[in-house]
Amino acid sequence: MPTPPDPAVLYPDVAACGSLAAALRTEADGCLGAVPVTSSGSAPLLHATVASTLQHREPLQISAWSYERRWSILGTEPFQSMALVDGRTDDLAEIARAARAWHDGAPLNDIRRAAPFVHLTGRFEVPDTDPARLTESEWQRMCQEASELEYAWQETYQALIEAAYAEPALRALYPFTSHWALRFSATTRPHLTVVGPCLAANSDGTYGVGRGFISEDLGRFTTPHEAVALAVRHLPSDLGPIALGG
């Protein structure tokens, strides 16, 4: 991989301001006002953060790309450190508008309206960290992600996620993926407690069910509903309500 160009060459306007934080204020045309914007001590031209007035939001992370002139944002919640918003743009003024909305505690949809480049991950905010709501939020994120994929087997994977979500016994569990295999936990992040089988959507349109990670020792099926039904039959019988994993 080639060495990235000097940030001062790729971002001469940012370098002229001395930091990404200062450049944001310049491009914001006053919209950031007294909002605290902090640059990275080790890479001030490349990274900055903007705190939020809401305790259930981590500071918005703003990062400059290394090989082309573009910026990315990442806004997470503090309990699981999972993304609520992300996005990328070559317009620093748009970054400033998104940062202001994040700081002010604007609803996620309003942040998107303020800065259309912002991508909502599908998760919603759960200020009280209720485990059932965190689980619902994660399912919503997973269903959205499946619909947005551009892989060749996107329809197969989406069908598996939707079939699993339609089954109450699985919908009550916290979902997560590893290498596009669907797994379940009796606790939320940050500390997962894996339960039940692993479900996989295969590139040939079939669905595998296994006791281990991406194995098919329990069977391979032509429909997601058959795979989901078998997974339900292999769930532990003593599962209680979903609990916090922390």
> What digits encode the pLDDT tens for the residues 122-163?
999 999 999 999 999 999 999 999 999 887 778 999 999 999
Lowest mean pLDDT, pick from 56-60, 168-172, 180-184, 210-214: 210-214
Question: What is d(CA 141, CA 246) in angstroms, rounded to the nearest whole number?
Answer: 21
- Determine the Cα–Cα distance for residues 185 and 182; give it in Å rounded to an integer: 10
Cα–Cα distance for residue pair 26/169, rounded to 1 Å? 52
In the prediction, which pLDDT does 59 show? 98
* Residues forming beta bridges with residue 194, ordered by sequence position: 185
Domain ranges of the chain: 7-120, 131-245
**pLDDT at 204 > cutoff 80:** yes
Give the whole-number percent of the chain exceeding pLDDT 70.
100
What's the pLDDT at 175? Answer: 98
Q: What mean pLDDT comes out for the span 162-166?
A: 98
| pLDDT at 214 exceeding the cut of 90 | no
Residue 119 CA to residue 85 CA, distance in Å, equals 6
pLDDT per position as a tens digit, 77-128: 999 999 999 999 999 999 999 999 999 999 999 999 999 999 999 999 999 9
pLDDT in tens, 171-188: 999 999 977 799 999 999
pLDDT class for 240, splitting at 50, 70, 90?
Answer: very high
Write down the pLDDT at residue 164: 98
Q: Alpha carbon of 217 to those of 27, 51, 197, 203, 231: distances in Å?
A: 57, 48, 10, 18, 12
In this predicted structure, what is the pLDDT of residue 179?
A: 77
- What's this model's pTM, rounded to 2 decimal places? 0.93
Report the pLDDT averaged over residues 15-34: 94
Ordered DSSP codes for the chain: -PPPPPHHHH-HHHHHHTSHHHHHHHHHTTTTTT--EEE-SS-TTTEEEE--SSTTSPPEEEEE-SSSS-EEEEEE-TTT--EEEEEEES-HHHHHHHHHHHHHT--HHHHHHHSTT-EE-S----TT--HHHHHHHHHHHHHHHHHH--STTHHHHHHHHHHHHTSHHHHTSEEEEETTEEEEESEEEES--EEEEEEEE-TTS-EEEESSTT--TTEEESSHHHHHHHHHHTS-TT--S-EEE-
Question: Which of 53, 61, 66 is closest to 83 using CA atoms?
Answer: 61
